[in-house]
Amino acid sequence: MARSAIIGGAFAALIVGGAGAVFLIAWRPAIAAIEPPAPQSFAPDLVKRGRELAAIGNCNDCHTVSGSKSFAGGLPVPTPFGTVFSSNITPDTETGIGRWSEAAFRRAMLAGVDREGRHLYPTFPYDHFTNVSDDDNHALYAFLMTRQPVRAPAQDNRLLFPLNQRVMIAGWKLLFFHRGTLQPNPAKSAEWNRGAYLVEGLAHCGACHTPRNPLGAERANASFAGGNVDNWKAYALNAQSSSPVPWDAEALYAYLRDGWHPDHGTARGPMAEVVRNLSQVTPGDVQAIATYMADKFGPPAPERSRKGEEALAQAKSGAAASGPEALRMDSPGAAIYASACATCHESGRPPPYGGINLGLSTAISDPDPRNLANIVLSGVRPVEGERSPIMPAFAGSMNDAQIVSLFNYLRSRFSNQPAWTGVEKTVREARGTETASLQPSAGARQAPPADPAQRAKP
Amino acid sequence: MMTLKVNGQDHQIDSEPDTPLLYVLRDELQLNAAKFGCGLGQCGACTVIVDGKAVLSCVTPLVLLEGKHVTTLEGLGTVSEPAPIQRAFMEEQSAQCGYCIAGMMMRAQALLQRNPKASDEQIRAELAPHLCRCGTHMRILRAIHRAARLMDTAELSPAEQRSAQ
């Protein structure tokens, strides 16, 4: 009797103590609502700086539904755990952040907690934004609070129990969310450090390009090893890079700024929006990002450099082929390539308006054929009202078997990588999302049809 | 030698497997509605329907067409018996030079077969790959809406049923 009372008491104490611990870990106070500051109270220079920072942060990409009001949120973001809808970050007082003080905004950025004290899902990349300086948050706040307020109530996330309980996020943070991880590196140049600050902070490049663990956190030991975003592969940006020609700072700068590079091709898919945004920011900041990322890629091994030179020389000479498949013009894949692809990709017309020589295409040399499937099925749509690269969609003219034979041919002729496995499944799945994106579902993310953000005039 | 099914008829074709469908339609079968515009799949003038989907025939090699049904504008209707999409384009006087129109009609036909109640926005998005330099876009839009109404009230002709397969 006495023993069971002791056990019972200990058990009760454990529950109370546990609940207390959870409360301590999870509870965050609300920050008082304010009357929205008048837009005129923000200095124009500050707002302009905030606009550039928002472009670096790619905020519009998640917080705007294509074709709807800017920053009004509502975009469904698919995650392995369910769908999270982006929030309204216009200064609307009822449905946006109009009643958020700057302190509340800063806390959301640095700690992932909203004004009322609720934990935010890490779909909002505060694991990166925690590195953003107070000055930059000050400018971002000024920019957002001077946008047009839009009344757009939040949509309920579709997450399974218990993930729909926000207290769970506190546990996630305890495991994976670390503040103050980014320290300046005095051994590196000021430009490198600026790049590190942007890449690891506001630009949150790793959110797509770093693989995630089963609980959805970026794997710290696999930084920039390549990840997933919206049915696209975000390529590896480290020594594991699969680009035929190794990247350097100069190429990265041009690509990030113009949306294409002659040795690498055109940005498409989710990256198109990123370069569209980066085309609007101070060149120095893009240069800093390029410098830092070039260091993440690291200098290529001599063997890789040699292969890159070879690929370039072959592309330049228009020389046919290396693989044994090249001579087998009787294979269906070869015939499809010759008539459907080569007319542009071997036209001799330089990128971006001519197709890139496929020996330089990362879509073909990467271990993951998804991007190739997306691009072949949906093509590249031109940017409205601008000169821009274009590629016709082949979803209507090629069935799955034909695409598979084309892909096997491309892989064996244009890369020195082993054949892909599971191409059939990849193509089938890509066709599923391609069909979905053609459905008139209001608010659905325009997944594969890519808008290349090609801004430079040739 | 391969069998190519066009507008419900089988044709024996002797061209190389990498020959674009457009060349076969125009040069071998004298079906001249589909036009050569750019030859790069960028203008839409060569659009035909393959198994119910709009396809750019200038970048579609024969090798892709084994066992598939090709429909050209000639397969939809005739001068004396125009299909709803053709009637609508005439009634709205949507052609100026007319070079792009056959392609426009084919993609619009494929869209309306899939979605008879296509909205203005959906029509605009669907026809985005088509270029028209005369500038009759507003008439083309009106014609497609008119065709949707015509199709809604009329039975499909046998040729249209074929192309809807």
The pLDDT tens digits for A9-58 are 666 666 666 777 777 778 899 999 999 999 999 999 999 999 999 999 99
CATH number of B131's domain: 1.10.150.120
The pLDDT tens digits for A325-341 are 444 556 789 989 988 99
Same domain, A225 and A134: no
| Residue ending a domain, choose from B75, B108, B126 | B75
Work out the average pLDDT over A145-173: 93
Which range (A128-137, A174-183, A361-370) has the least confidence?
A174-183
Residue A350 CB contacts under 8 Å (≥ 6 apart), including other chains: A262
Q: Is residue A268 part of a domain?
A: yes
pLDDT value at A451 more than 50: no
The pLDDT tens digits for A188-202 are 999 999 999 999 999
Same domain, A27 and A155: yes
Q: Is residue B160 part of a domain?
A: no
Same domain, A244 and A375: yes
Q: Is residue A414 part of a domain?
A: yes
Alpha helices for A147-235 (secondary structure H): 167-176, 190-200, 206-209
Q: Is residue A26 part of a domain?
A: yes
Instruction: Give the residues of chain B that fall short of pLDDT 50.
Output: none
Expressed as residue numbers, the domain containing A425 is 196-205+215-438
Contact (Cβ atoms closer than 8 angstroms) between residue A52 and residue A202: no
For residue A321, give how far its alpha carbon lies from the nearest alpha carbon of chain B (Å).
18
Could you tell me the pTM of the whole model? 0.87
Residue A405 is predicted with a pLDDT of: 95
Q: Is residue A48 part of a domain?
A: yes
pLDDT value at A283 more than 60: yes
Contact (Cβ atoms closer than 8 angstroms) between residue A109 and residue A132: yes
Residues in A closer than 8 angstroms to B119, CB to CB, are 440
How far apart are alpha carbons A328 and A336 in whole angstroms?
A: 12
Same domain, A293 and A395: yes
Residue A417 β-bridge partners: none
How far apart are alpha carbons B64 and A441 in whole angstroms?
A: 31
| Residue ending a domain, choose from B43, B75, B107 | B75
pLDDT value at A2 more than 70: no
The pLDDT tens digits for A238-269 are 999 999 999 999 999 999 999 999 999 999 88
Number of domains in chain A: 2
* Closest residue by Cα to residue B21 from B8, B38, B39, B9: B39
CATH number of A275's domain: 1.10.760.10
Q: Is residue A451 part of a domain?
A: no
- Out of B18, B39, B42, closest to residue A390 by CB: B42
Expressed as residue numbers, the domain containing B42 is 2-75
Going by their DSSP bridges, the two strands B2-6 and B69-71 should be labelled as: parallel
CATH number of B33's domain: 3.10.20.30
Same domain, A148 and A278: no
ipTM summary value:
0.86
Percent of chain A with pLDDT over 70: 88
How far apart are alpha carbons A350 and A274 in whole angstroms?
A: 23
Q: Is residue B89 part of a domain?
A: yes
Angle between helix axes A423-438 and A370-378 (nearest 10 degrees) is: 40
Contact (Cβ atoms closer than 8 angstroms) between residue A351 and residue A262: yes
Residue B2 β-bridge partners: B13
Q: Is residue B122 part of a domain?
A: yes
Same domain, B149 and B100: yes
Residue A210 is predicted with a pLDDT of: 98
Residue A458 CB contacts under 8 Å (≥ 6 apart), including other chains: A352, A353, A387
Same domain, A274 and A386: yes
Residue B158 is predicted with a pLDDT of: 54
Task: Count Cβ atoms within 10 A of the Cβ of residue B157 and give its class: 0-12 exposed, 13-18 middle, 19 or more buried.
Answer: middle
CB distance B50–A440 less than 8 Å? no
Instruction: Judge whether A444 is closer than 8 Å to chain B, CB to CB.
Output: no
How many CB atoms are located within 10 Å of the residue A391 CB? 24
What's the token pair of residue A369? 């054929």
CB distance B18–A339 less than 8 Å? yes
Q: Is residue B165 part of a domain?
A: no
For residue B21, give how far its alpha carbon lies from the nearest alpha carbon of chain A (Å).
10
Same domain, B70 and B94: no
For residue B141, give how far its alpha carbon lies from the nearest alpha carbon of chain A (Å).
18
Number of domains in chain B: 2
Q: Is residue B40 part of a domain?
A: yes
The pLDDT tens digits for A366-423 are 999 999 999 999 998 877 777 788 899 999 999 999 999 999 999 999 998 999 999 9
Same domain, B110 and B143: yes
By a Cβ cutoff of 8 Å, what residues of chain B touch chain A? Answer: 17-20, 39-42, 50, 53-56, 59-61, 63-64, 115, 119, 121-122, 128-129
Contact (Cβ atoms closer than 8 angstroms) between residue B56 and residue A392: yes
